[in-house]
Amino acid sequence: MTTIEASSNEFVVNPADIQAAATRIAPHVLRTPSIHSESLSKRLGCQVWFKPENLQHTGAFKTRGAVNAVMSLSEEEASKGVVTHSSGNHAAALARAATIRGIEAHVVMPKNSSRKKIDAVRSFGVEPIFCETSSQARSEMAEKVREKTGAAMVHPINDPRVIAGQGTVASELVAQIDGLDAVLVPVGGGGLISGILMLIKSLHPHIKVYAVEPALADDTARSLKAGHREMPVRYDTIADGLRSEVGVNTFPIIRHFVDDLFLVDEVLIGSAMRTLAEDAHLVAEPSGAVSFAGLISMKQQFAGKTVAAVITGGNMDFGECKLGRNRISS
């Protein structure tokens, strides 16, 4: 606790924010189970647990942060709606959260967003606002919408209410798994891992927290080495949810608290997805399997330990899959 108290002013969230978020979002998100895999434990030589946020509403942990942000708004703020920009799971999560509160959502999406992600937003009655694909174009369009409508901006990564919401994964993990030694978390923008770090390192500091990042999107690894934020240099990892730069509000938390960061290559991410499907019977999108890829690659380090890998999402395109092609009609 002293660590936190000494440094709490440096960071945009504190453990109390996460505990408040847990109460606030409880009626609207799934308390996902923690699932022990006996077969993978035997094969990897440690007690393997999964936190399957692919089973979460909208298929990803992003629902937690979005609901916390929307439910934190005052009546006056809420009356003007919310706005964000996202090509991924945050877009649908915010659309859903706004629907629950009965307010308008303005969701700016790059025009090359996947059909599945666009459909997910539309399933909540929200028509995306399309923009050019650059990071700058997205921000500018979202800012334009904000100025015009007065809507509250809910940044997918840096919003403190979003970070606090994502951190609720950690309070469930520690409640669900006895003797938890370590947690592995994918890092993209860092919203999830910074929330998890803030809760665990303040209340359960004996538990290790490791970031796992695709080697092809290693901006956080380079940032940690440099001591300041470094930008991505390529955007082609299969783990599309982890291509974004580490956030201005999340990097300080990661830098201060994280125990280590593991890089994983693309082949290993694919293997991890396959093993999750074949042995744990969970469908993870590439980004969602990155934490487990890190566990596979570092299994010696975790020998005999109780380890949880957060499976962050499951929204992937099955277009080429050979399974039955006739989907249920809506």
**Nearer to a second copy among residue 55 and residue 198 (C-beta):** 55
Distances (CA, A) of 307 to 177, 264, 312: 9, 18, 15
In whole angstroms, give the CA distance from residue 218 to residue 79. Answer: 40
DSSP string, 146-186: HHHH-PEE--TTT-HHHHHHHTHHHHHHHHHSTT--EEEEE
Minimum separation from the CB atom of position 327 to a second copy (A)? 6
Q: Which residues contact 283 (CB under 8 A, 6 or more apart)?
A: 54, 276, 277, 314, 316
DSSP 122: H
The SS3 call for residue 314 is coil
Minimum separation from the CB atom of position 124 to a second copy (A)? 9
Minimum separation from the CB atom of position 194 to a second copy (A)? 25
In whole angstroms, give the CA distance from residue 25 to residue 63. Answer: 9
**Nearer to a second copy among residue 164 and residue 272 (C-beta):** 272
Minimum separation from the CB atom of position 125 to a second copy (A)? 11
**Nearer to a second copy among residue 11 and residue 292 (C-beta):** 292
**Nearer to a second copy among residue 94 and residue 246 (C-beta):** 94
Minimum separation from the CB atom of position 49 to a second copy (A)? 12
**Nearer to a second copy among residue 38 and residue 178 (C-beta):** 38
Pairing, β 260-264 against β 152-153: unpaired
Q: For residue 50, what is the enclosing H or E element?
A: strand 47-52
CA-based R_g, the chain, Å = 19
In whole angstroms, give the CA distance from residue 287 to residue 94. Answer: 19
**Nearer to a second copy among residue 56 and residue 158 (C-beta):** 56
Minimum separation from the CB atom of position 188 to a second copy (A)? 19
In whole angstroms, give the CA distance from residue 146 to residue 8. Answer: 30
Q: Which residues bind a second copy (CB under 8 A)?
A: 30, 33, 35-36, 38-39, 42-44, 52, 54-55, 57-59, 123, 267-275, 277-284, 296, 314, 318, 320-328, 330
**Nearer to a second copy among residue 205 and residue 270 (C-beta):** 270
